[in-house]
Amino acid sequence: MMAPLWVMIGGFFGAICRYAVSRWGARRSPRLPLGTLIVNLLGSFLLGWLAGSGAADAEKLLVGTGFMGAFTTFSTFKWESVQMMQQRQWAKVSGYVAVTYSCGILLAWVGWQLGR
């Protein structure tokens, strides 16, 4: 009965944090989707850490499913990549995709190692 509540609470705060980081990133780098890159890389690290930490089920629901589910954004990453491709910004989109995937996987692993 509590599981949906944990997910809802985490999602509420994750969405607010994502919005704040996205706005901050847009002000710092209007030509590169810095906010999306930051939330996805930070989310990869934190989710890896949570997975390795042995957290209780309620914590996994609150932080992992709720907060990280709303904080990270795979769909926005894909849409921004498509927009760069439509504008024929091949070097930019290649770098963005490469950094997001390679660093995301690396940070998830580092987080998992630190969580253990």
CA gap 69, 27 in Å, rounded: 24
CA gap 81, 115 in Å, rounded: 31
Burial of 98 (0-12, 13-18, 19+ CB in 10 A): exposed
CA gap 38, 96 in Å, rounded: 11
Flag whether 72 is marked binding.
yes
Flag whether 69 is marked binding.
yes
| Alpha-helix runs per DSSP H in 1-116 | 3-28, 34-53, 57-59, 69-71, 74-86, 90-115
Binding site feature residues for Na(+): 69, 72
Binding site feature residues: 69, 72
